[in-house]
Chain A
Amino acid sequence: MTIRTPTPRGPVRSAPARSAPDALVVPPGEITTGHARGAPLRREGPAKLTGVAKYADDLVFPGAWYGGTVRSTEAHARLDAIELDPGFDWSGVVVVSAADIPGDNVVSLISDDQPVLVPVGGEIRHHAEPVALLAAPDRGMLREARQRLTLRTTPLPAVFDPLQSGEVFAHFDIRRGDVEAALAGAELVVEGIYRVGHQEQLYIENQAMIAVPRDDGGVAVHGSLQCPYYIHKALKRALLLDDRRARVVQTETGGGFGGKEEYPSMIALHAALLALKCKRPVRMIYERHEDIAATTKRHPAIVTYRSGVDREGHLIAQDIEVVMDGGAYTTLTPVVLSRGTLHAGGPYACENVRIRSRAVATNTPPNGAFRGFGAPQVEFAAEMQVNRIAEVLKVSPLELRRRWVYQRGDVTPTGQVLRESVAGEEVLLRATEAAEYERVRERTAGARARRGADGSGREGGDRTASGIGLALGWHGAGFTGSGEVHLASIASVELTADGRIAVLTASTEMGQGTKTIFPQLAAAELGVPVEDVDIAPQDTGIVPDSGPTVASRTAMVVGGLVIKACRRLREEVEARTGRPFAEAYRDDARDHGPTRVDQQFEPYPGVQFDDATYSGDAYPAFGWAACVAEVDVDLDTGEVAVRNVVAADDVGRVIHPVLAEGQVEGGTLQAIGYATIEEIKLEDGRYLNDRLATYLIPTALDAPRITSILVEAPFSGAPHGAKGVGELPMDVGAPAVVDAIHDATGVWIHDLPASPERILAALGATGPTSSSSAGRSRSDKDVEGAVDAAMDAPIEVGTDPLPTERTDAQPFRAPTDR
């Protein structure tokens, strides 16, 4: 183990009743000068800070034309014709339609259902679907040409409600134990329906791709992207190119968050088709409006949840149904649904679990990858259930989680035994301690009680109510199931002829720090200065296929391959020279020439998953996250201000504390946006708020002070123990905020975002400061009725160790006919 952790290890917590892994806490908010707390400074930082870094739109290709996309204005229609105005001079413009596609008219991904362009006679399946392409020498002519092109269509009936859709992209059914029997025997059954909407990734750099024709008839695309080899594959398929004639080069990338995982394949194909037809470079740079209107979003979901608790307060049953809206085409939906299904139970041990899920088609723009990838939707529901059960049981949400959270040796719904790297309780305790969760909760409960049930007791006309909320989550590290085995990623390390070390991977830098941590890992393994390690450009003509830069897999999986490649390189050079690598490598390069090692992924020992039965080790390891949020709610306007957040995230091993904290802080704020203000409104399948003036994300004033605590429960399968960090914080922020809103106001918001409208509606239904659970105002009365009854009914729960009020009334039985 040669990874340098930059701060001394903190004292080992004495977590009760479990063998806690050693944990390292990096002090939050510490500012030092000169170095990123012992770790190297961001590799490409100076270029970004001086304006020298070249993003796609900064690149100049002499003679390049401007490309544009003609999109559908209907949600579902037959395309009858593409009409060019004969009164316009089309000789100076290039038009591309589906007929110009030499290969298959598909954007290659999981299914072959999404066309590059809708063919005449074909079906338009969503608003803003690409139908034709235009290129012109200047923007003015492009605009003019676009106005002179008309789509003739015949409308078809459209489906917008996922519950009304009969077209299923994917479905899963996971069962463990006997959930019906367990629910029938449960002391308490709490039910809920939770709805979450679209979320836009909103990278600040819009999608951008520039295609340049090659002399050999192929094409090179330069652009803002996460996955060079996804695009490479898509180009080869639709343009009938071989490996060499299709080339993909990543430019500096201004944020991705999943939004540049699959959609760039579409844009690259569009730019390439235009470039090949007009035989010159074509710039396809989206404006914000087009980017929001047309590109993928986080999947909306409806999660129906029934949880059963026994007399001793144990979680004995979870019956979960997940419906995700995939939009018009498959894109990555089956994989998003898979991850959502596997995470739906939350990080809690339960003997009887049934998770049924399906993702369906609607006539809305396709949804796709976004940080968290199906998990934030279901974990919101899972955490809402836990917090609501805690309220019914009159037990602290912290205490309930301590009882239920997975410990080492516990078994997940797929039958996976959690053998190691289990840190749910650790992150829970660290976050709640740092936030002084129980103390603040006492204070907010006191304030709520003083305000009184009708709000008349507002102190000094105080219009705000404060609350604190908690959520706990888990996130499977790397690809799901046997995904990494199928990917068979390769990373390479080369000792170059001039005595330097080159790391060659397709893992992209989009702000998260790939270009900084890979040299760190290589330098540490080889014992050479980090300055001697170079990163090869993410260019399919240069680097091997290391798989996509997604799923928080870069540090864990590809980073692990880099370390293994370095080990082999070191052994080879040491065997040849008989000297330690650090002393010998420069001489060896001079005497022997370059040495390159290609390291392919090898399955993690003991990790097995059966795709057919969906059982076994769904992930090689899980990361664990806890979030405590404090909010102020304006009782008159319903506005929520998130004041303070403490996030504790177990990342396996911290490679670079500043970068890792940056991931936690950024992911947490995206989750807060998801919880409070980020919402897409649709009308007839069209996004209504498709501009930055109307789709709002948090500003610095909306953002709380975020304290990040990094916890290390290493994963033995990775040579450096790292498990990834990017997605963890996204899973827990929203339920923590909604729990805090409840703590402040007494009302539960079941749908995201918890907008002022929803909060006011809930407050109006219950009185502003109701601290009871009565009087929910939602339309799904059957389920809510059951929950209200559960909450109102006297329940009998063992007092040991849960500090609940004991009654001797008849235990409540929830209806089980749903």
Chain B
Amino acid sequence: MLVNGDAVEVDVPGMRRLLDVLREDLGLSGTKEGCGEGECGACSVLLDGELVDACLVPICQVDGHVVRTVEGLAGRAVDGQPDLSQLDVVQSAFLETGGAQCGICTPGMLMAAHAFLASGADPTDEAIREAIAGNLCRCTGYTKIVDAIVLAAHSASQPPVE
């Protein structure tokens, strides 16, 4: 499978959860576990561009497919880790508007935002809320998350001023 652009091969039982493969076998602990039963969305990743709960996906279904996690959003530093100074447009928008508080839902929320923005849908308040309805946040009241996605849509559609 392809994870954040890297070809990856794992030798694990087919029913092992994608979540555990990412977190434990590949060391990509940015994807979080909140409930283990597909209710909270903290483990959301993109599977061939589709938003999925990694706790509900057995690894056998990922064979030969493309996975994108939160670690694949920002630019990379020399050590291969995400470069904190090279946030992508959605991450920057979350930082600016206050869309991340405790941060535990944030990786999944970012992936939901990416799936929404990639869909090309009109970034209305209602459409955004629909798009993140499977991702629970207990800190923000969602207002600033919606603001962040609006801002990201706006920023993405305009070339940088500088």
Contacts and interface: CB of A to CB of B under 8 A. Distances in A.
A691 to B, nearest CB: 7
Interface in B18-38: 23, 27-37
A255 B102 contact: yes
B52 interface: no
Given A42-B95, A700-B146, A204 B136 contact: yes
A204 B105 contact: yes
B29 A58 contact: yes
A670 interface: yes
A659 B98 CA distance: 7
Interface residues of A, number: 62
Nearest to B29: A58
Contact of A48 (B103, B128, B134): B103
Contact of A701 (B42, B96, B110, B133): B133
Interface residues of B, number: 64
B84 interface: yes
A172 B106 CA distance: 43
A254 B104 contact: yes
Contacts of A253: 102
A46 B95 contact: yes
A400 B123 CA distance: 42
Contact of A666 (B28, B70, B101, B150): B101
Contacts of A32: 96
| Central interface residue in B35, B36, B87, B94, by most chain A CB within 10 Å | B35
Given A50-B87, A57-B33, A666-B141, A205 B95 contact: no
Interface string A46-74: 11111111110110100000000000000
Given A33-B96, A287-B36, A700 B132 contact: yes
Given A51-B29, A52-B30, A53-B103, A691 B155 contact: no
Contact of B39 (A252, A669, A693): A693
Contact of A511 (B83, B101, B110): B101
Q: Which DSSP category, helix, strand, loop or mixed, fits chain B's interface?
A: loop
Contacts of A35: 96
Contacts of B133: 699-701
Given A254-B102, A287-B36, A511-B101, 7 more contacts: A46-B85, A47-B84, A49-B95, A49-B103, A50-B71, A204-B105, A700-B145
A52 B104 contact: no
Contacts of A699: 133-134, 136
B124 interface: no
Q: Which DSSP category, helix, strand, loop or mixed, fits chain A's interface?
A: loop
Contacts of B135: 700
B143 interface: yes
B61 interface: no
B140 A206 contact: no
Interface of B: 23, 27-37, 39-40, 42, 69-71, 73-74, 81-85, 87, 91, 94-98, 100-107, 110, 125, 128-130, 132-147, 150-151, 155
A311 interface: no
B34 A206 contact: yes
A41 B100 CA distance: 11
B154 to A, nearest CB: 8
B102 A705 contact: no
B144 A661 contact: yes
B40 A49 contact: no
Interface in A655-678: 658-659, 661-662, 665-670
A115 B100 CA distance: 37
B155 A204 contact: no
Given A58-B29, A700-B129, A700-B132, A49 B143 contact: no
Interface of A: 29, 31-36, 41-42, 44-55, 57-58, 60, 201-206, 252-257, 287-288, 510-513, 658-659, 661-662, 665-670, 691-693, 697, 699-701, 703, 705-706
13 contacts: A44-B103, A45-B95, A49-B70, A52-B81, A52-B82, A205-B32, A205-B34, A206-B34, A288-B34, A658-B98, A658-B144, A668-B141, A700-B142
B102 A41 contact: no
B139 A666 contact: yes
Contact of B98 (A42, A52, A288): A42
A150 to B, nearest CB: 26
A444 to B, nearest CB: 23
Given A203-B102, A662-B144, A706-B143, A692 B95 contact: no
Nearest to A48: B103
B88 to A, nearest CB: 9
B96 A254 contact: no
Given A44-B103, A254-B103, A659-B98, A666 B138 contact: yes
Contacts of A510: 102
B102 A31 contact: no
A665 B34 contact: no
A251 B39 CA distance: 25
